[in-house]
Structure 1
């Protein structure tokens, strides 16, 4: 799966650098039309994570991921076949849905394969992802020096082919065990005991022995469920008692998980700050040389590649992840202060402050990634991991749509705006720490339970 991630991100690096130029110089769209195209497709793409997570709890994960990759390839090729804005809106919306869905499905795959080591696996996966994006971006930057229509088309074809390659590589991966379908095979007992066991597990039968076993099993399972499920899930189970129907576990009724996801959307703002806020602030409000802007992005990428795996230890367990929220709050507050300070002083001072801010936001990015990977899974019941991670994926999707607005609003307020943003993010960390205060309880990180057929 790491190879899948690398190939996928190489293609993304090719496309992200090229797409806007292609729409401008080859398709002939104006600035407003490009904004409409990207804005509408981005908004539609928000539905990708919850839809993918919901489906992933009901069907095998590997073929679903292959299907999504194939759909992304078709959409990428389709972009090259039309210059009509309406068709481009449809195609780009499909591509956006696929991109967001793929991200959630990859995370779910890692969760099921890596088990307790999921945070470290995700750290390695993110390192590989950044490396792939850097390779794709460098190739695109070198190719775009020619600036011809053929080059633009070739780079986008490379993006489409990367999805084809990712789908083929995914076919070679093993299907991870799913908590909703995992069945442990055991030796079948012989003689009358086999019939009793089969009747107890599979069907309603007559006889006091069977009824007693069923009653004991129901009481035991209910007690375990009440002991291990988060508050939102307990409420769902209680509401379903007496109906004779199994309770449907859904994140949309889990108020704590929804609030947690809302705080996550704010903490993912580092992405917009690094990609949009820093370059614009450097150019419009500081005396630092403009050549520093791309170097700040290089610094961010290099630090993530070098340090994300070591940072995984801060989210190794739910308890460690919760404790790490306070250091994260301090780093975000300091990052905002550094950006505010960069508007004052000589070029050398502004340069130093911007480097410090970029480093601090990158540290916050890596620290939050480790915390988020652990808590988003630990707070989800095993039988609905896909649905819960799909809802959690909304945090990044919403941030990508609203983050630029929040960052530009902070910029408009000047240095005080950055101080205010840093303070707001620090307060969000403290609120999230209170929200997941029982995250160190064994109930939130129990291993999936498999049920034997015999």
Structure 2
């Protein structure tokens, strides 16, 4: 086990070796492009394609709903085909979809193209996570911390570049930002080609079973553990405990909606804090993640550590919600201070949950079906993106009491998830120490 002092130093060696470092570069390039497009998508559809606000909402909502299928589909394929070429293919599809948006202003065609891009975006996320899981091994929690730090940095760079470009605000500028997004996916695909194919336990089991069926090599003794492992891979859709874990994790991802919707709306409609504070709170969130996500990796270094971290995670959610409730009362300076405390507490919750979710989603997945299981877990974020805005706006509508109930609900889910994981037992949470090669 890696010691806490080593984990606390963000300058220590990145897990996964050369391939791990290259995949971090892939993440950075990918997120720079996403930052360019994410900051300008609504403006592009408004001014470059001439869609109405209602049409844009319909386009993004439907394509996002279709994209929910991306994680389970990508994870299922990753257990059956080599991961690296699959990831390259998905990046290429994203690039083509981005460029294809430039070719039409027809809503129906835009919907098809945007849906394909959304499928690729969501699949890419789980495939990148799976690659990191395979190359980083037991250090996967620390690798994920580096990955989130790099991703946030990439988003910031892309967002700043988009903000600078938008000072011009012409249609060609929106189009070139979309081209930049496509080029980032192409660059990511080329960088991924330089990475090695990671070792996969699930594919070697499948290969062994196929060989036994064709008689090309002797099989194990009937009834042995190896024989049972080669007959049928576990199915995450029949694993009620993992599905319950995924559902609870979807709730804990609500911190994303708090920062994107809840905190900005609450600050400008229910508090006396200056409106200029809102973007600064989002900057604070980004800076804290970049500075502290790697040290926070210690909280997800092992399954036991991740499980124990669910209690301080509940406390962080409660503190953030209480601070939001308090921000509605008092003078301008008091509201400002309370919002800063709330943003800090929810950022701490975000970093703790990132470490916990990364570790438990992998540790609870059987090694022989890791891709399929992580694909199902990828639905947690997709579901949150759809239902999260409704939950957050409901809290806002209920006033300060709504935030107290919101925080208490998140804390209760933390406790329920801890109980769910504890019931599974330490043995089931252990990660195999031996990685099986495909070769």
Decide: shared fold, TM above 0.5.
Answer: yes
Superposition deviation, residue 447 in structure 1: 1.8
Deviations 1:360-418 (A, max 9, x none): 00000000000000000000000000000000000000101111111111111111111
Q: Is the 8 A contact 2:81 2:203 kept in 1?
A: no
Match of 1:383 in 2: 368
Q: Is the 8 A contact 1:378 1:439 kept in 2?
A: no
Superposition deviation, residue 327 in structure 1: 0.5
Q: Is the 8 A contact 1:319 1:439 kept in 2?
A: no
Q: Distance in 2 between matches of 1:388 and 1:365?
A: 22
Q: Distance in 1 between matches of 2:269 and 2:431?
A: 50
Which of 271, 279, 288 is the aligned partner of 1:303? 288
Q: Distance in 1 between matches of 2:402 and 2:185?
A: 40
Superposition deviation, residue 161 in structure 1: 0.4
2:386 counterpart of 1:401: yes
Q: Distance in 2 between matches of 1:171 and 1:53?
A: 19
Match of 1:202 in 2: 217
Q: Cα RMSD (Å) of the superposition?
A: 2.0
Match of 2:93 in 1: 71
Match of 1:85 in 2: 107
Superposition deviation, residue 30 in structure 1: 1.1
Match of 1:253 in 2: 238
Which of 350, 356, 360 is the aligned partner of 2:335? 350
Give 1:276-295 correspondences, 5 Å limit.
Answer: 276-295=261-280
Match of 1:322 in 2: 307
Specify every segment of 5 or more residues in structure 2 that has no aligned partner in the other structure, as ranges.
1-22, 206-214
451 and 166 in structure 1: CA distance in 2 versus 1, 3 angstrom threshold: closer
220 and 49 in structure 1: CA distance in 2 versus 1, 3 angstrom threshold: closer
TM-score between both structures, scaled by the size of structure 2: 0.90
Deviations 1:190-249 (A, max 9, x none): xxxxxxxxxx99347xxxxxxxx825xx34548xx8xxxxxxxxxxx9xxxxxxx92341
SS at match of 2:231: coil
Deviations 1:88-119 (A, max 9, x none): 11111011100000000000000000000000
Q: Distance in 1 between matches of 2:282 and 2:273?
A: 15
Q: Distance in 2 between matches of 1:346 and 1:453?
A: 64
449 and 313 in structure 1: CA distance in 2 versus 1, 3 angstrom threshold: closer
Q: Distance in 1 between matches of 2:409 and 2:435?
A: 43
2:227 counterpart of 1:214: no
Superposition deviation, residue 31 in structure 1: 1.1
SS at match of 2:273: coil
Q: Distance in 1 between matches of 2:26 and 2:140?
A: 17
Q: Distance in 1 between matches of 2:93 and 2:105?
A: 20
TM-score between both structures, scaled by the size of structure 1: 0.87
293 and 33 in structure 1: CA distance in 2 versus 1, 3 angstrom threshold: same
450 and 127 in structure 1: CA distance in 2 versus 1, 3 angstrom threshold: closer
2:350 counterpart of 1:365: yes
Superposition deviation, residue 441 in structure 1: 1.4
